[in-house]
Structure 1
Amino acid sequence: MHRLLIFVLVELLLLLGFLGFGVGEGKVEALSLLEEREILLKFKSSVFDPTGILDSWVSVNDSSDDSSSYHCSWYGVACDSQFRVSSLEIVGGSKGEETSSGNFDLGKAVCFNVSEFPFYGLGIRRNCDAKIGKLGGNLSPVIAKLSKLRVLSLAFNQFRGGIPREIWGLDSLEVLDLEGNWFSGKLPVSIKGLSRLRVLNLGLNRISGQIPNAFSGLVRLELLNLAANELEGLIPAFVGRFPRLWGLYLSSNQLKGEIPDDFGGSDCQNLKYLDLSSNALNGKIPVCLGNCRELRVLLLFSNMLQGVIPRELGHLRKLHVLDVSRNSLIGGIPAELGNCRDLSVLVLSNLDDPFMVYEAPNGAISHSENNLFQGLVPMEITTLPKLRLLSAPKAGFEGEILLNRDSCCKSIVYVDVSLNNGDGPQYTVGACHSLPSRILNSHQLNKGYIAYHSFFIRKVCSRTSSFVSESKFLVRIRDNSKLRRPENARLLSELNSSSDETVSSTSVQSNAEDLQAGADPTPGSGYGNGNSNKFNSIEIASIASASVIVLVLLALVVLFIYTRKCAPRDSSRIQVYERREIRVFTDIGVPLTFQNIVKATDCFSAGNCIGCGGFGATYKAEVSPGVIVAVKRLSVGRFHCIQQFDAEVKTLGRIRHPNLVTLIGYHASETEMFLIYNYLPGGNLEKFIQERSTKSIKWRALHKIALNVAHAIAYLHDECNPRVIHRDVKPSNILLDDNYTAYLSDFGLSRLLENSETHATTGVAGTFGYLAPEYAMTCRVSEKADVYSYGVVLLELISDKKALDPSFSSHGNGFNIVSWAHMLLRQGRAKEVFTEEIWESGPHDDLVEVLHLAVKCTVDTLSIRPTMKQVVHLLKQVRPVSKPNVS
Structure 2
Amino acid sequence: MELIPHFFLLFSLARTVFSSQPTIASLSSDALSLLAFKSAISYDPNKLLSNWNLSTPHCTWYGVLCSPTSKRVISLQLSNANVEGTLSPSIANLAKLKTLSMPRNLFKGQIPSQIGQLQRLQALELQENGFSGPIPYQKFGNCEFLEHLKLSSNSFRGRIPLDIGKCSNLRTLLLDGNAFEGGIPIEIGRISELRILDVSRNSLILRIPRELGDCKKLSAVKLISLEYLGSFWNDSNAFFGDIPAEVLLLPSLEIFWAPRANLGGSLPSSGWSEFCSLRVLNLGGNDLKGTIPGSISMCKNLTFLDLSSNGLVGSLPDNVGDLRDLEWISLRENNLTGEISDQLGHLTSLTYLDLSHNSLTGSIPVSLANDTNLQVVLLDHNMLSGEIPALFSILPNLIHFDVSFNNLSGHIPHLKHANGCDNYIGNRFLSPCPDNYSATPLGTYSSPPTGLPVPLVPQCCRHSKLKPFVIATVTLVSVVFFIIVVIVLFFILRRRKLPRPTTLRRKEVVTLADTPVELTYDNVVRATGNFGINNLIGTGGFGSTYKAELVSGFHLAVKRLSIGRCHGIQQFDAEIRTLGRIRHGNLVTLIGYYVGEDEMFLIYNYLAGGNLDTFIHRRSGKNVEWPVIHKIAIDIAKALAFLHYSSVPRIVHRDIKPSNILLDDDFNAYLSDFGWARLLEVFETHVTTDVAGTYGYVAPEYAATRRVSDKADVYSFGVVLLELMSRKKSLDPSFSEYGNGFNIVPWAQLLIQEERFSELFSPELWDCGPRENLLGMLRLASACTVEPLSVRPSMKQVLNKLKKLNS
TM-score range, shorter chain: 0.3 to 0.5
TM-score by length of 2: 0.43
TM-score normalized with structure 1 length:
0.40
